[in-house]
Amino acid sequence: MASTDVRPKITMACEECKHRNYITRKNRRNHPDRLEMKKFCPNCGTHRAHKETR
């Protein structure tokens, strides 16, 4: 049932250090591509781009 969920949980990973820092939800119908946001990375200590991981 989770595979057909419209708003699945996704994990956001830092582009620089590859640490998975955030878990969020996205609407699969509105954003079919992978999500990318600038968020604070506690490992790097700065704001970095975080991408959706599988």
pLDDT digits (tens, 9 = 90+) for 6-46: 889 999 999 999 999 999 999 989 989 999 999 999 999 99
- What is the helix, strand, coil percentage profile of the chain, to 5? 5, 50, 45
Whether the per-residue pLDDT at 48 is higher than 90: the answer is: yes
13's tokens? 């990973």
| DSSP per-residue string spanning 1-54 | -GGG-SS-EEEEEETTT--EEEEEE--TTT--SPPEEEEEETTTTEEEEEEEE-
The confidence score (pLDDT) of residue 1 equals: 58
49 vs 54, higher pLDDT: 49
Residue ranges making up the domain that contains 18: 2-53
Number of domain units in the chain? 1
Answering whether pTM is above 0.85, one says no
CB 36 within 8 A of CB 42: no
